[in-house]
Structure 1
Amino acid sequence: MNKVSIIMPIYNVAAQLERAIQSALNQTYPNIEIILVNDGSTDESGSICDTYQQQDIRIKVIHQPNAGSGYARNAGMDVATGEYIYFADPDDYFDINLIEETVKIAEKVTADMVVFGYCNEVIQKNGQVTTMEHLPQLKGAFTQEKFRDQFRNHYAVSPYALWNKLYRHEFLLQHQCRFTNQKVGQDALFNQVVQRSVKKVYFHQKAYYHYVSMEGSAVNRYRKERFTYEYTIANQFEQWMMCWNKEQDYKDLIYREYWGALYLELSNLSWKDSPLTSRQKTARIAELMRNEAVYEAVNGIRLEEESNAFIKRLLQLLRKKQYDGALRLMHFRVVVGKNFQRSFRWLKNKFTNENGVNSINGNGR
């Protein structure tokens, strides 16, 4: 029976950590090792890891100075002895049969990577939980050539997430798949390296992982290097498509990657802690629009195929070089949009509770 190494980077998540560790310990697949990498936590996370290590010999604990989740995962891979690697986050949880069922698939078809579904769970401030299931659009085993031809369907559902994938350890070693020290987007860069060379992938349309977030818990703050991080991901994606000779087939996806980098920078500049003046923000967007790849993406996206009215208007303003208008629109989205979403959610819940159906959406779910 092949061993599976479950690697969990940990930083200041004491409140949720025990649930995550317990979901690993409860796996129905017996041959596992659980590698907990305490990445310089300043809360009780480190001691919780040590306590569990004393209780179960399957648990290994690494304590290291804070270096980021990417390097924490690298530290876990350095000591991993399993034939398969699974990455889990310490503030989520997963079903008890995740490892057993995905390993069975991987062994049956000799897959380098197994992709499966997950549930996005949002805990609202009133304690109510909203759950949305996300499943792969593809199904079954895909050879390298077939995977490349059908890549668009894979790209549509969380291609960069770590926790909805099981990886063959030998493949990761053979292709030197490691995490960088980039503070944001290490998971994307890692998965780009993996998927560029993967020879066989299996898509399993079943959800095992529970991605948990608290309403309003996201830390939205200005990051000076945000665009650089996202541009690096977009540029590596383009190089990946060129390596496959698919840059023309997936030109629209390349555009979306570069557009995503600019979009997130517009959002980044809209946070209230941004130190830039309005004039400096406008100059920043003008500078980025002079980048050939970004300019081509903004002007290459087909507006008639864009269903989001906000995105369409934003692109129109940028094409007309109305950068101050684009920034004002994004600021409205960031500041006012949150309040609108809260009001809409309250109204939807009110209609659902009073009428027994969701009258706004027109269905009973």
Structure 2
Amino acid sequence: MVAVSVIMPIYNVVGGLKKSIQCLLNQTYKDFELILVNDGSTDGSGQICDEFQRKDSRIRVIHQENAGSGMARNAGLDWATGDYIYFTDPDDYVEAELIEDNLKIALENEANVVVFGYYVEEINARGKRIMTVQLPNLSVLNTKEDFRKNFRAFQDLDSNILWNKLYKHLYLFENNCRFTDQRVGQDALFNHLVYRNLEAIYFNQFPYYHYVSRVGSAVNRYHPDRFLLEYNIAEHFEKLIITWRYEQMYQDLISLAYWRTLYVELNNLVLEDCPLNENQKVQQISSVLHHPKIQQTLFSPNSSLEKKYHIKLLTLLLKKNKYSLALRVMRAKIQMSKKYHYAFSTLKKITGT
């Protein structure tokens, strides 16, 4: 038995893998095991895992055929012996105090989950690195009722992600929290299971994780089934809220989840590697809009959706069946974000807004 089991799914990430593993081995807290699950890599990532295992007895390497990151994380859970579980990704890296500081909070408070801050590092096509910080705005939610009533504030730090959370192993086991084989969004589906009965959740207002976003990464590539995968996440989110019996309080969050499904698909359709022609894209949008939940979201007023001008414009165009124009707006929004992101980030840093 160890205090913490760190689980890392690995698939063809040879470029940043050594840095990611080494940052974990450099932790100030030493009583942990690192489970590296090589999910059928073909680029030499598996060999790097084996090299590190020979050098450090805390490392266990699992080699398996490619099954997706969810199944790789399940394999890690099957082998984990730690009192707490931490999931990390192989193309990111962490601060040396991550385990020590957050485990201390977990043990002192018998926490089921500890949530901490993180850095977002965006690397553009020219190699320019732009960093922002995301921090929790809560301190402690001791009961199920506390957590559910404050879920809106909790979502501000992106409730779907895994790598800014330390999970109690026994809690995951008792609540049958496992990953699905869905290739995109299995982290959200996993956390929806975690949140069903969650209590004793503590927050650490310091950043420890570096999420590295690169131009051309998997999230920026076209997926033919992206809408269905995102729709499944929205459905599971709605079921979670209904299970709590909080659907009236969080109806806007449910609508937002379904709107995100539509928004992500619009983004998916304007990516450079999308193979569909304009007519096929229009047909896809028309098909998506026939889903009852999407119709309900699109034609129901939602103040949180109407705060941003481009969202209001997209909604208006979709309602009027101006699908080609909606795609043009989406393309323009993406190009504008790329062009002015650095300027906006710098201004935000200077002004402190």
TM bracket, shorter-chain basis: over 0.9
Q: Give ranges in structure 1 of 5+ residues lacking alignment.
A: 353-357
TM-score normalized by the length of structure 1: 0.90
Name the CA shift for 1:345/1:112 in 2 (closer, same or farther; >3 Å): closer
Alignment of 1:167-178 (within 5 A): 167-178=167-178
Structure of higher CA gyration radius: 1
User: Residues 242 and 56 of structure 1: is their aligned pair in 2 closer, same or farther, counting only changes over 3 Å?
Assistant: same
Q: Is the 8 A contact 2:121 2:129 kept in 1?
A: yes
Partner of 1:81: 81
1:154–1:361 Cα change, 3 Å: closer
- Could you tell me how far apart the structure 1 residues matched to 2:270 and 2:78 are? 40
Render the CA deviation track for 1:303-360: whole Å, top value 9, x for unaligned: 58633211110011122233333233224434xx1xx4454357679xx7xxxxx5x9
Matches within 5 A, 1:221-260: 221-260=221-260
Aligned position for 2:108: 108
Paired position in structure 1 for 2:18: 18
Note if 1:363 corresponds to 2:330: no
2:282/2:323 contact within 8 Å kept: yes
SS in 2 for 1:48: helix
Task: Provide the C-alpha distance between the structure 2 equivalents of 1:226 and 1:156, rounded to a whole number of angstroms.
Answer: 24
Is 1:160 aligned with 2:148? no
Give the equivalent residue in structure 2 for 1:299.
Answer: 299
**In the TM superposition, what whole-angstrom CA distance separates every residue of 1:189-230 from its partner, at most 9, and x where no partner exists?**
001111122122111111111111234556633322111100
CA distance in 1, matches of 2:142, 2:133: 23
Query: 2: distance between equivalents of 1:149 and 1:304?
Result: 18
- 2:340 alignment partner AA: F
Q: Distance in 2 between matches of 1:210 and 1:107?
A: 24
Alpha-carbon spacing, 1:128–1:328, altered in 2? closer, same or farther (3 Å): closer
Q: Is the 8 A contact 2:267 2:330 kept in 1?
A: yes
Given that 2:256 and 2:305 are in contact with CA atoms closer than 8 Å, whether structure 1 keeps it comes out as no
**Offset at residue 141 of structure 1 (A):** 4.0
The 2-side partners of 1:273 and 1:25 are apart by 38
SS at match of 2:133: strand
Tell me how far apart the structure 1 counterparts of residues 129 and 286 of structure 2 sit (CA, whole Å): 42
Residues 255, 301 of structure 1: 8 Å contact kept: no
Shift of 1:43: 1.3
When residues 296 and 34 of structure 1 are mapped into structure 2, their CA distance, relative to the original with a 3 A threshold, is: same
**1 CA distance for matches of 2:123 and 2:315?**
33
Q: Does 1:185 align with 2:181?
A: no
Shift of 1:18: 1.1
The number of residue pairs the alignment matches comes to: 353
Is contact 2:28-2:97 (8 Å) kept?
yes
- Distance in 2, Cα, partners of 1:76 & 1:204: 25
Give the letter aligned to residue 146 of structure 1.
D
Deviations 1:18-69 (A, max 9, x none): 1111111111222100000111111121111111111111000001111111
User: Structure 2: how far apart are the matches of 1:86 and 1:362?
Assistant: 34
Task: Supply the distance in 2 between the matched residues of 1:364 and 1:242 (Cα, whole angstroms).
Answer: 38
Counterpart-to-counterpart distance in 2, 1:82 and 1:301: 47
Partner of 1:308: 308
Please show how residues 198-213 of structure 1 align to structure 2 within 5 Å: 198-213=198-213
Counterpart of 2:4, as a letter, is: V
User: Deviation at 1:302?
Assistant: 2.6
Deviation for aligned residue 1:363: 3.4
Q: CA deviation at 1:300?
A: 2.1
Verify the 8 A CA contact 1:303 1:312 in the aligned structure 2: no
Counterpart Cα distance in 1 of 2:2 and 2:131:
33
1:9·1:69 contact (CA, 8 Å) conserved in 2?
yes
**CA distance, structure 2, for counterparts of residue 150 and residue 172 of structure 1:** 21
Q: Which amino acid aligns with 2:329?
A: L
Q: Deviations over 1:219-264 (max 9, x none)?
A: 6333221111000000000000000001110000000100111111
Which residue of structure 2 lines up, in the alignment, with residue 323 of structure 1?
323
Q: Would the aligned equivalents of 2:26 and 2:96 in 1 still touch at CA under 8 Å?
A: yes
Moved over 6 A (4+): 346-349
Deviates more, 1:126-135 or 1:259-268: 126-135
What CA distance in whole angstroms lies between the structure 2 residues aligned with 1:38 and 1:282? 39
For residues 206 and 27 of structure 2, the distance between their equivalents in structure 1, rounded to whole angstroms, comes to 16
Equivalence for 1:72: 72
Question: Aligned residues: percent identity?
Answer: 48
Using a 3 Å threshold, how does the CA distance of structure 1 residues 233 and 49 change in structure 2: closer, same or farther? same
Match of 2:133 in 1: 133
Aligned equivalents of 2:176 and 2:122: distance in 1? 35
Question: Does 2:262 correspond to 1:266?
Answer: no
**Partner residue, 2:278:** 278
